């Protein structure tokens, strides 16, 4: 039997120590742009504990066949979003769902950032966005002059949860060592973002690794000791999950 360690005082304590976020996904909601907060880079949402996350907005109802593309993800005001009264859907990830007016059904896709937003970002901050998805936008900021320098008491940047989530999503929530892959949102908690050189302020993509709990716990002696105490329950939870999955696989053969 697999117990849910995500709830309760112990889980909260362990989560704070390991900086593991079990309930990260932003609940989808719609609002007008005049209700959004923003800084010099784009739309943001401030957290309850001094953290924040960057947001994108897009039209929830869209004629994708008419324009031969998915809706664009806007990260700041541009010509397309000048009308502040328009209702937009808020997102903190590349993967999003919108309603196709042409096909009369919901479509899930990785939305590209608006070309005008991208052009402005490259011009102002020399961002190397690569593929212009929202995830790459969040990660590229950490490799630019606009990277976060303020940290919390644990040494993580204030939007680390989002940086970690976006990075893991670019790796398809797959462990880079053992290839364990999360197949649903609940299993994503078994994947962590590891700092290769142990510098929590260096969040360049080359310094990050997507690792499952077990592989993360065996990176080196420091991590083995850390997980033997602080991260023991999440590790046991993951090992129990793997055993249960293996047992189910045998029974279906």
Question: Does 1 map to a domain?
Answer: no
Identify the domain containing residue 176 by its residue range.
9-252
Coil, helix or strand for 93? coil
Distance between terminal CA atoms of the chain?
Answer: 21
Q: Is the pLDDT of residue 149 over 50?
A: yes
Q: Edge-to-edge strands of the sheet including 43-46?
A: 37-38, 43-46, 52-54
Question: Residue range 199-213: average pLDDT?
Answer: 95
Look at the chain and report how many structural domains it folds into: 1
pLDDT confidence bin for 142, thresholds 50/70/90: very high
180 touches 216 (CB < 8 A): no
113 touches 137 (CB < 8 A): yes
pLDDT confidence bin for 164, thresholds 50/70/90: very high
Helices (H), the chain: 9-18, 64-67, 115-125, 134-141, 160-170, 213-217, 221-229, 232-252
Question: Does 203 map to a domain?
Answer: yes
**Model confidence over 96-105: pLDDT tens digits?**
999 999 999 9
Higher pLDDT, 227 or 152: 152
For the chain, give the percent of residues with pLDDT over 70: 79
pTM here is: 0.78
Give the C-alpha separation, 149 to 141, whole Å.
12
Question: Does 3 map to a domain?
Answer: no
């Amino acid at each position: 039997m697999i117990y849910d360690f995500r709830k309760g005082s112990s889980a909260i304590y362990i989560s704070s120590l390991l900086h593991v976020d079990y309930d990260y996904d932003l609940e989808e909601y719609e609002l007008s742009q005049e209700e959004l907060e923003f800084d010099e880079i784009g739309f943001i949402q401030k957290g309850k504990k001094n953290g924040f996350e960057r947001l994108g907005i897009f039209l929830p109802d869209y004629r994708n066949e008419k324009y031969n593309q998915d809706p664009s993800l806007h990260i700041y005001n541009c010509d397309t979003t000048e009308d502040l009264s328009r209702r937009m859907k808020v997102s903190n990830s590349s993967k999003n769902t919108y309603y196709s007016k042409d096909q009369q059904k919901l479509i899930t896709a990785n939305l590209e950032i608006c070309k005008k937003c991208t052009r402005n970002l490259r011009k102002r901050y020399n961002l190397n966005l690569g593929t212009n998805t929202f995830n790459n936008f969040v990660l590229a900021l950490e490799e630019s002059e606009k990277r976060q320098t303020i940290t919390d008491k644990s040494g993580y940047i204030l939007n680390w949860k989002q940086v970690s989530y976006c990075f893991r999503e670019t790796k398809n929530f797959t462990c880079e060592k053992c290839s364990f892959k999360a197949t649903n949102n609940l299993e994503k908690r078994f994947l962590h973002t590891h700092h290769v050189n142990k510098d929590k302020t260096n969040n360049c993509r080359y310094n990050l690794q997507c690792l499952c709990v077990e592989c993360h716990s065996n990176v080196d002696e420091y991590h083995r000791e850390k997980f033997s105490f602080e991260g023991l329950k999440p590790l046991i939870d993951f090992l129990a999950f793997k055993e249960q999955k293996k047992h189910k696989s045998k029974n279906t053969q």
